């Protein structure tokens, strides 16, 4: 007899925190007997983990679920659920607007997914969107094969209320996970084969262990002691709370990689104030200088929003000049989009879409130039590279990342995968580096 297993198609949108939550969902669904499939057509259950940070992302959810109506008509037993930040934001409204949707659950109801699926199968349509302490204590769910690079959320929510941002409304108040639980999860991932861990939070710098008061620098120290773990990264750092102790931790802890995502959002003090970011351009630059002084090889990343309400050409030029001054290695840039609940969404002086688009194109062109020059400046350097696997393009090439997080492709054989090697950088390209393998006696194999 052919064994039939139930199949789930789990689609994830948004940030790394959603990617992490999706891994937890996949774990819970696997325990219920669901195997994962890539195509919604093959599934008995479709779960979307959604993002509402920009309007377009939210609209996509409605149109995507809308398209699933056809599938549900063909397979009436198909169950469809929406989780994540759009679920939190829209709640019951999603069930009303999409009659073929079975259940809705916000980020804090994630642990109740099995119960939601079981009840939906019995015909109960419901939306669980209460924010507050998570619905059940977080279990540590570790995939059997987490991969070489894994993530661990150390805190959820956000208390910063930047005036443009929906996250504090859809993720609720900031809560740190106990350090003991974080360490247990890191150790379990490492035991299952992970060698690099990225610690996640909207603002990791304000981490506080609820059981002992350890701050984020202290937590890094503890994670650094986990045997068999090679590399630690973290994201995101809020510039207003970047502490000297965190900079010291990056400088002093061998396993903490020299990479920092420090979103500036704008280079104009007027805009930073209107955004409620809690720092000035000058203060931001001081932080960058201190960081570069202590960790000279650090690669810096940032997020910039163009076209915030009331942004003048002059304000925008200050963002361009910030890029020239800092010279980021990587940059995510976005057109401002108004979000529900937020203060900026209620401002009068919204910019025309066309102006926002032009500014985005201009900013991105400048960043391409800077990024390329920064990459070219790496030529000749010797870098420790964690090899991930064969390069996506190019016969006989392997691909990995430097300590600073830059992608390097170099001629090599597949057995190098999952090992640390030394590579000499030969060329810098727009999105990656090219290099050649050094026959390092100290190379470690996984």
85 is in an annotated binding site: yes
**Contacts of the segment 118-125: beta carbons below 8 A, 24+ positions apart:** 120/79, 120/81, 121/79, 125/95, 125/101
Stretch that binds ligand SAH, among 164-172, 218-226, 247-255, 406-414 (CB under 6 A): 164-172
CB nearer to ligand SAH: pick between 26 and 242? 242
- Taking the complex as a whole, the smallest distance from the CB of residue 117 to ligand SAH amounts, in Å, to 29
Candidate residues 8, 17, 150, 408; the one interacting with ligand F3S per rule CB under 6 A: 17
Q: Residue 339 interacts with ligand SAH (CB under 6 A)? A: yes
The one of ligand SF4, ligand SAH, ligand F3S, none whose footprint includes residue 161, by CB under 5 to 8 A per kind, is ligand SF4
- Taking the complex as a whole, the smallest distance from the CB of residue 166 to ligand SAH amounts, in Å, to 7
* Structural tokens at position 69: 């109506």
Q: Residue 171 interacts with ligand F3S (CB under 6 A)? A: yes
Q: Residue 201 interacts with ligand F3S (CB under 6 A)? A: no
Site string for ligand F3S, 53-72 (x = CB under 6 A): x-------------------
The one of ligand SAH, ligand SF4, ligand F3S, none whose footprint includes residue 153, by CB under 5 to 8 A per kind, is none
**Contacts of the segment 88-92: beta carbons below 8 A, 24+ positions apart:** 88/52, 88/129, 88/131, 88/169, 88/170, 88/171, 89/52, 89/58, 89/166, 89/169, 89/170, 89/340, 91/127, 91/129, 92/127, 92/129
- Taking the complex as a whole, the smallest distance from the CB of residue 404 to ligand F3S amounts, in Å, to 24
Q: Residue 234 interacts with ligand SAH (CB under 6 A)? A: no
CB nearer to ligand F3S: pick between 18 and 287? 18
- SS3 at position 28: helix
CA distances 134 to 166, 202, 212, 299, Å, are: 19, 17, 20, 35
Q: Residue 263 interacts with ligand SAH (CB under 6 A)? A: yes
Catalog residues that contact ligand SF4 under the rule CB under 6 A: 158, 160-162, 165, 167-168, 202-203, 238
Q: Residue 165 interacts with ligand SAH (CB under 6 A)? A: yes
Q: Which residues contact 240 (CB under 8 A, 6 or more apart)?
A: 277, 278, 279
Stretch that binds ligand F3S, among 13-21, 203-211, 342-350, 363-371 (CB under 6 A): 13-21
Q: Residue 15 interacts with ligand F3S (CB under 6 A)? A: yes
Q: Residue 104 interacts with ligand F3S (CB under 6 A)? A: no
The one of ligand SF4, ligand F3S, ligand SAH, none whose footprint includes residue 17, by CB under 5 to 8 A per kind, is ligand F3S
Query: How far is 152 from 45, CA to CA, in rounded Å?
Result: 26
The one of ligand SAH, ligand SF4, ligand F3S, none whose footprint includes residue 220, by CB under 5 to 8 A per kind, is none
* Structural tokens at position 129: 């969107």
Query: How far is 119 from 79, CA to CA, in rounded Å?
Result: 11
Q: Which residues contact 151 (CB under 8 A, 6 or more apart)?
A: 16, 19, 20, 23, 197, 198, 199, 200
Q: Residue 72 interacts with ligand SAH (CB under 6 A)? A: no
CB nearer to ligand F3S: pick between 112 and 171? 171
Place of tokens 């247990």: 184
DSSP structure class, residue 66: H
Using CB atoms within 10 A of its CB, is residue 305 exposed (0-12), middle (13-18) or buried (19+)?
A: buried
Number of residues that bind ligand F3S (CB under 6 A): 13
Q: Which residues contact 336 (CB under 8 A, 6 or more apart)?
A: 164, 305, 306, 307, 308, 309, 311, 344, 351, 356
Q: Residue 154 interacts with ligand F3S (CB under 6 A)? A: no
Q: What is the DSSP string of 85-97?
A: HHHHHHTHHHHHH
The one of ligand F3S, ligand SAH, ligand SF4, none whose footprint includes residue 52, by CB under 5 to 8 A per kind, is ligand F3S
Q: Residue 198 interacts with ligand SAH (CB under 6 A)? A: no
9 is in an annotated binding site: no
Q: Which residues contact 93 (CB under 8 A, 6 or more apart)?
A: none
What φ, ψ does residue 43 adopt, rounded to 5°? -95, 155
Binding-site ranges for ligand SAH (CB under 6 A)? 53-54, 164-165, 167, 202-203, 236, 238, 263, 265, 303, 305, 334, 336-337, 339
Q: Which residues are annotated as a binding site?
A: 15, 51, 85, 158, 162, 165
Catalog residues that contact ligand F3S under the rule CB under 6 A: 14-15, 17-18, 51-53, 84-85, 166-167, 170-171
Which residue positions form the known binding site for [4Fe-4S] cluster? 15, 51, 85, 158, 162, 165
């Amino acid at each position: 007899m052919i064994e039939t297993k139930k199949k789930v198609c789990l689609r994830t949108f948004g940030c790394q925190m959603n990617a992490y939550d999706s891994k937890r969902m996949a774990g819970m669904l696997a325990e219920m007997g669901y195997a994962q499939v890539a195509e919604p057509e093959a599934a008995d259950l479709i779960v979307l983990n959604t993002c509402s940070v920009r309007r377009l992302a939210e609209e996509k959810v409605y149109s995507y679920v809308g398209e699933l109506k056809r599938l549900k008509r063909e397979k009436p037993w198909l169950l469809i659920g929406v989780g994540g930040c759009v679920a939190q934001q829209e709640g019951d409204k999603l069930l009303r607007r999409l009659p073929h949707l079975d259940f809705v659950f916000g980020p804090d109801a994630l642990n109740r997914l099995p119960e939601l699926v079981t009840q939906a199968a019995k015909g109960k349509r419901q939306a669980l969107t209460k924010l507050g302490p998570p619905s059940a204590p977080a279990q540590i769910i570790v995939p059997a094969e987490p991969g070489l690079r894994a993530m661990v959320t150390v805190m959820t929510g956000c208390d910063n209320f930047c005036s443009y941002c929906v996250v504090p409304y859809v993720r609720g108040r900031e809560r740190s996970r106990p350090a003991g639980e974080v360490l247990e999860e890191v150790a379990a991932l490492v035991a299952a084969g992970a060698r690099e861990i990225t610690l996640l939070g909207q603002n990791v710098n304000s981490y506080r262990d609820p059981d002992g008061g350890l701050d984020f620098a202290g937590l890094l120290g503890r994670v650094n002691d986990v045997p068999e773990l090679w590399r630690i990264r973290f994201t995101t750092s809020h510039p207003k709370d970047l502490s000297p102790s965190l900079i010291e931790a990056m400088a002093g802890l061998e396993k903490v990689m020299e990479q920092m995502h420090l979103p500036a959002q704008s280079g104009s003090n007027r805009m930073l104030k209107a955004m409620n970011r809690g720092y000035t351009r000058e203060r931001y630059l001081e932080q960058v200088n201190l960081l570069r002084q202590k960790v000279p090889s650090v690669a810096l990343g940032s997020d910039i929003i163009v076209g915030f309400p009331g942004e003048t050409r002059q304000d925008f030029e200050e963002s361009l000049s910030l890029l020239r001054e800092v010279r980021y290695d990587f940059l995510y840039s976005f057109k401002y989009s108004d979000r529900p609940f937020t203060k900026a969404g209620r401002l009068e002086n919204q910019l025309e879409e066309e102006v926002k688009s032009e500014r985005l194109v201009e900013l991105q062109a400048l960043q391409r130039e800077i990024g390329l020059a920064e990459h070219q400046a790496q030529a000749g350097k010797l870098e420790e590279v964690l090899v991930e696997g064969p390069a996506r393009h190019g016969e006989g090439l392997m691909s990995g990342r430097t300590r600073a997080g830059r992608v390097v492709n170099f001629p090599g054989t597949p057995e190098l995968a999952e090992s640390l090697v030394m590579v000499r950088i030969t060329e810098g390209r727009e999105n990656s580096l090219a290099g050649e393998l050094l026959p390092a006696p100290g190379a470690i194999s996984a």
